[in-house]
Amino acid sequence: MCKYSLYVAKKAIFVILLLQYNIVSSMENAKEILNWYILSGITDICSDEPFRVSLAEKSTISEPKNDTVSAIKAVDENGLTKRPAMTLLAQEGQAACLNAVELCQKAQTLDDLKALMEDFSGCSLKFSANSTVFGYGNPQAELMIIGEAPGADEDRMGEPFVGRSGKLLSKMLAAIGIEREDCYITNVLPWRPPGNRTPTDGEVAVCLPFLKRQIELVGPKIILLLGGSAANTLLNCSDSVSSLRGKFVDYTTENGTIIPTLTSYHPAFLLRSAAQKAKAWSDFLRLQRKLEDI
């Protein structure tokens, strides 16, 4: 049976089960529930492999430090609880970021960092994802490639850029004489946002220390940033990808090492906008020349 018929069959079984067990009263309601799941990013109704999700075990966001807690509870001279300068949610986010920075400093190898990331529970995306997608490739690569976040295929397989975008990326690299295995490929986020939605600033901020530490541990000569999200995050700017692409911009690591970065279009964008492929090709030729000069 082809993949699409299997998907339709799974959908039909799901709707029948909802009706059979009186979870919904009509076909219309069943369709609404199904659409709601799809909008929430649940693209697989049932997987071929069983897996266990234990939210209770995983959702332990790091406790805010004691001094932050007392600041929240402080009362004024009238005995009224002072309004916190930051909401609890923002404080939790800030505490998770600080926690991530501290953790990452402990990692002396990529394996250490991978283990710390898999244990980290300060980003809620982890709880809706199937895998923590860590970087892949040569740990001493001269070229590091950074995308935005895993998609459905990457989430299933636990490896970055293995879906349609990844296949296009591999072809573009091969055209300038580079094998996927020769580079180190990673993403700003190691967890897939539900339904591939745009990650929030908070999600990016809490994952950024892991990305920065990966860069330090690999120590590439050049970084290729794919798409506006990767470029804006690493270069800490809000310029459009069309104004950034094709230009070398230096990135400075926490320990002062300067690494040139080159921004280009994300392969997912190129799959939708074939007319932009010529510009991406000229970016890749610039990358090839720079790598030859090193």
Nearer to ligand URA, 154 or 283 (CB): 154
Residue (of 135, 164, 187, 155) closest to 272 by Cα position: 164
Question: Side-chain half-sphere of 29: how many Cα atoms within 13 Å?
Answer: 10
- Distance of alpha carbon 99 from its chain centroid, rounded? 18
To ligand URA, the closest distance from the beta carbon of 165 in angstroms equals 4
* CB distance 277 to 171 below 8 Å: no
Using CA atoms of 10, 41, 163, 224 in order, give the dihedral in degrees to the nearest 10.
180
State whether residue 251 is helix, strand or coil.
strand
Interface positions with ligand URA (CB under 6 A): 147-151, 154, 160-161, 163, 165-166, 187, 268
To ligand URA, the closest distance from the beta carbon of 241 in angstroms equals 13
Residue 82 CA to residue 192 CA, distance in Å, equals 38
To ligand URA, the closest distance from the beta carbon of 153 in angstroms equals 7
To ligand URA, the closest distance from the beta carbon of 121 in angstroms equals 22
Q: Are strands 184-187 and 143-147 parallel, antiparallel or unpaired?
A: parallel
Tokens of 289: 């020349």
Other CB atoms closer than 10 Å to residue 273's CB: what's the count?
Answer: 12
Nearer to ligand URA, 130 or 165 (CB): 165
Nearer to ligand URA, 206 or 268 (CB): 268
Select the residue whose beta carbon is closest to ligand URA and give its number.
147
State whether residue 294 is helix, strand or coil.
coil
Nearer to ligand URA, 164 or 289 (CB): 164
To ligand URA, the closest distance from the beta carbon of 108 in angstroms equals 26
Residue (of 135, 55, 62, 56) closest to 93 by Cα position: 62
To ligand URA, the closest distance from the beta carbon of 187 in angstroms equals 5
Nearer to ligand URA, 217 or 270 (CB): 270
Nearer to ligand URA, 99 or 187 (CB): 187
To ligand URA, the closest distance from the beta carbon of 57 in angstroms equals 26
Q: Where are the beta strands (DSSP E) in 120-240?
A: 136-137, 143-147, 184-187, 222-226
Nearer to ligand URA, 92 or 155 (CB): 155
